[in-house]
Amino acid sequence: MVEHGEEMRGSREDPHRQARAARELPMLLHSMSVFRELFAVLFGCREIGTVVEVGVESGQVSSVYADLGARVYCVEPSPDEGLRAVLDADPRLNLVEEHSPAALDGLPTADLYVLDGDHNYAVVRAELDWIMRNAPDAVVVLHDVLWPSGRRDFYYQPTTLPSGDVHPDTADGPTVWHDDVTPAGFVGRGAFTAAAHAGGERNGVLTAVEDAVAASGGGWRLEIVPAVFGFGVLVRDGAPGAERIFEALRPFTSSSLLATMENNRIALYSRVLQLQYEAVSRADDANRLAEAIAVQQQKIEQLRAELGRATAGAPARPSAAERAAKGRAAGDYVTDVAMHSATWGTFLEPDPALADAEKLHEVLGIPILGGHRADLEAFAGHNTVFDRIAARVGAGGLGYEDQGSNKHYFDLFGRAEAHHQELTRLVDVGVFMGGSSVVLAGCVEPMGLELDLVDVNHAYLQFTYERLRRIFPGAMGRVRMFHGDLPTYVEKVLLEESPVRAMIHHDGAHAFGQVVKDLSALYFARDRVHSLALKGTHLRGDIVHSNFVDAAAYAMFGADVKYEPIGAQFPPDAPVTNPDQWAGNYFLPGRPEGMYIRFGGLDWQYPHRTMTLDAFLPGKAEPQE
């Protein structure tokens, strides 16, 4: 064993010795050279005179076997000049420029085979089948039997495998933070691709080992040292030194400490990969943004002129009676209009005709009234993912307005980021022109989440979807549009799909009665809801609108419900604390814009346990003559 005590401890005179040793290591430990002491154990348990090494790094590992007394055959089909020079300089090392397993036929039978070449089922299975037939007394060491290659194929490019041995693959890579591949994951940057899906049959190095052992009729034993992607040792029962080998390796193969440290190592490294990706993306976004500035500046004056004309022609604020009549008509939109659409209660398909629309809001008949836009870049430097979202928010050149403050959007992002490991889905209820949806869509790729957009107005859904497509095109495979209200979404989606663990952002209807219906519907899917972000808890307005979101929350969860305040709290002299000209809406000073409520342990005051979801679903009105 190598003694590291002095190096790790340092001394009073040299307290930085461990730190120097640490910074000399690569960011990602991956080389088989770190297993030198394990190879010393193998050589100490039985005679090993010949080693066949499949997959040669720099020649450093090859010399380890030679230093332990073996003649080494290094199988590497495409060595670079640096590797060739290293191997040529050491007569104990013999370069074999062929692909495995075909190369094995022309080599002496070895005592030790080290398999660290192409990390996929087809190649590893063929190598093991050959060794089990032709060298049954050999020791086989396999690298990368755990994450990421244990249950997912990787293919060096260009691959020589026939198409039947290659799963659908991707340039994206896995991460430990979710189960899908991502461009921010363990990627090959052109050197290799990964199977798009993990698990199943004929997929991954460990799966190949298990199948080879099963096909052999038994008698082969595999033990794994859970470190540096997994060090597997495969030996046939009764082979020379087999029992001694496994007994000597037991402290390593049975170590829960090593397993825990390996899981922590790959988690940290996956996070580093994500941060590196975000840094590059941010730089790319900045370049694209700089290129777009000139175009945007040309449009600014035109937009200002259009806004000026619209403002000049705006009618005077209607009377309270007129606003009340309009409010009653708007309140019937769901039952009188939306539910009569054939798409109600279903997922919408994107409209390809909108892909090139310049004035998308005009095409869809969505007026821009106040023109408010939240300045997300005011929170620059707090989080690299949010910085990326803020830099992209204006991409696509679309006219839009926001309904929330920049603080609300930043806090909403913060809750998703803090709890994303507990979530599978984000749900944005009441999307309007996509203010909150943009922020949530920016979480989809880096956090491995789904996003469902829910609204009673199909025009808002199509606008928001197209806006997201122009900003985060890579996320759109995991974004859906549901035409309906929240109770209908619960009935048709949350209760039908499994498993789901959702964070719901509610910015739909703010009327007390409808909010109670929405939250009551969540009661029936409470085991699938992680948390609720309610927006508009500081909103008031004309009585016909009954804007009392906070009162609805207290009615549902009790006056002492625990929540985290999110969003802005406006001072008394802020203009938004006075009624606006459209619906008389205003914000209560000093009250938070929203509430973030965790669903675990909620004391539901309503609905009663005898009630059913049907009581809260909307009823379609009879068609009007």
| 363 in the same domain as 221 | no
Give the β-pairing of 178-182 and 173-175.
Answer: antiparallel
Q: Give residue 297's pLDDT.
A: 54
Q: Give residue 214's pLDDT.
A: 95
Please state, in angstroms and rounded to a whole number, the distance separating the CA atoms of residues 144 and 258. Answer: 15
pLDDT in tens, 68-78: 999 999 999 98
Q: Give residue 262's pLDDT.
A: 95
Encoded tokens for 434: 């996509």
Check whether 5 has a pLDDT greater than 70.
no
Mean pLDDT of 319-330: 46
CA distances from 199 to 169, 208, 269 (A): 13, 12, 22
DSSP string spanning 148-173?
Answer: TTSSS-EEESS--S-GGG---EES-E
Check whether 528 has a pLDDT greater than 50.
yes
DSSP letter for 315, please. Answer: P
How confident is residue 10, by pLDDT bands cut at 50, 70 and 90?
A: confident
136 located within any domain: yes
How confident is residue 607, by pLDDT bands cut at 50, 70 and 90?
A: very high
How confident is residue 263, by pLDDT bands cut at 50, 70 and 90?
A: very high
Check whether 624 has a pLDDT greater than 70.
no
Please state, in angstroms and rounded to a whole number, the distance separating the CA atoms of residues 228 and 144. Answer: 8
Q: Give residue 36's pLDDT.
A: 93
Longest dimension (CA), the chain: 98
CA distances from 442 to 93, 240, 388, 474, 566 (A): 51, 57, 8, 10, 19
Q: Could you tell me the residue range of the domain that residue 505 belongs to? A: 318-370+404-616
Check whether 1 has a pLDDT greater than 90.
no
| 570 in the same domain as 475 | yes
| 323 in the same domain as 211 | no
287 located within any domain: no
155 located within any domain: no
Q: Give residue 581's pLDDT.
A: 75
pLDDT in tens, 143-174: 999 999 999 999 998 888 999 999 999 999 99
Domain boundary, last residue among 243, 275, 307: 275
Return the amino acid letter for 463: F
Domain boundary, last residue among 275, 307, 329: 275
Q: Give residue 33's pLDDT.
A: 84
Cβ-contact 54, 115 below 8 angstroms: yes
Task: Report how many helices (DSSP H) and strands (DSSP E) the chain contains, helices first.
Answer: 19, 22
Encoded tokens for 179: 């189960």
| 270 in the same domain as 324 | no
DSSP string spanning 250-289?
Answer: HHHHT-HHHHHHHHHHHHHHHHHHHHHHHHHHHHHHHHHH
224 located within any domain: yes
Mean pLDDT (the chain, rounded): 89
Please state, in angstroms and rounded to a whole number, the distance separating the CA atoms of residues 566 and 571. Answer: 16
Instruction: Check whether the bond before 499 is cis (ω within 30° of 0).
Output: yes
Q: Give residue 260's pLDDT.
A: 95
DSSP letter for 411, please. Answer: H
Please state, in angstroms and rounded to a whole number, the distance separating the CA atoms of residues 361 and 460. Answer: 9
| 349 in the same domain as 258 | no
Mean pLDDT of 233-242: 96
H-helix or E-strand spanning residue 435: helix 435-447
DSSP string spanning 460-513?
Answer: HHHHHHHHHHHH-GGGGGGEEEEES-HHHHIIIIITTSSS--EEEEE-S--BHH
Return the amino acid letter for 214: A
How confident is residue 324, by pLDDT bands cut at 50, 70 and 90?
A: very low
Q: Give residue 25's pLDDT.
A: 75
Check whether 258 has a pLDDT greater than 50.
yes
What is the value of pTM for the model shown? Answer: 0.53
> Roughly how many angstroms between the first and final C-alpha of the chain, as a whole number?
90
- What SS3 class is residue 179? strand
DSSP letter for 369, please. Answer: -
Please state, in angstroms and rounded to a whole number, the distance separating the CA atoms of residues 595 and 588. Answer: 14
385 located within any domain: no
Encoded tokens for 377: 């870049």
How confident is residue 384, by pLDDT bands cut at 50, 70 and 90?
A: confident
| 245 in the same domain as 108 | yes
Please state, in angstroms and rounded to a whole number, the distance separating the CA atoms of residues 594 and 485. Answer: 20
Length of the chain: 625
Q: Check residues 273 and 150 and name the one with the higher pLDDT.
A: 150
Q: Give residue 487's pLDDT.
A: 96
186 located within any domain: no
Give the β-pairing of 139-143 and 231-236.
Answer: antiparallel
How confident is residue 393, by pLDDT bands cut at 50, 70 and 90?
A: confident
Listed residue (441, 448, 445, 440) closest to 420, CA to CA:
448
H-helix or E-strand spanning residue 529: strand 529-535
Q: Check residues 317 and 523 and name the one with the higher pLDDT.
A: 523
Check whether 464 has a pLDDT greater than 50.
yes
Listed residue (141, 149, 138, 144) closest to 223, CA to CA:
141
- Residue 556 neighbours by CB under 8 Å, 6+ apart: 516, 519, 520, 604, 605, 606
| 249 in the same domain as 347 | no
- What SS3 class is residue 127? helix
DSSP letter for 161, please. Answer: S
H-helix or E-strand spanning residue 439: helix 435-447
Mean pLDDT of 217-225: 93
How many structural domains compose the chain?
2
pLDDT in tens, 569-596: 989 888 888 887 767 889 899 999 999 9
| 96 in the same domain as 221 | yes
Please state, in angstroms and rounded to a whole number, the distance separating the CA atoms of residues 424 and 429. Answer: 16
157 located within any domain: no
For residue 50, the number of C-alpha atoms closer than 13 Å in the C-beta half-sphere is 12
Considering only 196-200, 508-512, 553-557, which range has the smallest mean pLDDT?
Answer: 508-512
Phi and psi torsions of 140, nearest 5° = -115, 125
Tokens 């990706």 label which residue?
A: 277
DSSP letter for 547, please. Answer: B
Q: Give residue 301's pLDDT.
A: 57
Considering only 18-27, 225-234, 524-533, which range has the smallest mean pLDDT?
Answer: 18-27
Encoded tokens for 431: 């999307």
| 223 in the same domain as 340 | no
Domain boundary, last residue among 210, 242, 275: 275
Mean pLDDT of 535-557: 90
19 located within any domain: no
CATH number of the domain residue 572 falls in: 3.40.50.150
pLDDT in tens, 76-91: 998 888 899 999 999 9
Q: Give residue 29's pLDDT.
A: 75
| 350 in the same domain as 210 | no
Please state, in angstroms and rounded to a whole number, the distance separating the CA atoms of residues 153 and 170. Answer: 11
| 448 in the same domain as 342 | yes
Q: Give residue 580's pLDDT.
A: 79
Encoded tokens for 528: 């699938």
How confident is residue 54, by pLDDT bands cut at 50, 70 and 90?
A: very high
Check whether 537 has a pLDDT greater than 60.
yes
Check whether 320 has a pLDDT greater than 60.
no
Mean pLDDT of 363-383: 88
How confident is residue 51, by pLDDT bands cut at 50, 70 and 90?
A: very high
Listed residue (180, 184, 182, 153) closest to 169, CA to CA:
153
CA 13, distance to chain mean position in Å, is 46
- Strands (DSSP E) along 35-160, which ranges? 50-54, 71-75, 93-96, 112-115, 139-143, 154-156
Cβ-contact 434, 400 below 8 angstroms: yes
- What is the side-by-side strand order in the sheet with 154-156? 154-156, 192-195, 169-170
How confident is residue 280, by pLDDT bands cut at 50, 70 and 90?
A: confident
| 344 in the same domain as 262 | no
Cβ-contact 431, 506 below 8 angstroms: no
pLDDT in tens, 469-499: 999 999 999 999 999 999 999 999 999 998 8
Q: Check residues 21 and 554 and name the one with the higher pLDDT.
A: 554
Check whether 327 has a pLDDT greater than 50.
no
Q: Give residue 31's pLDDT.
A: 79
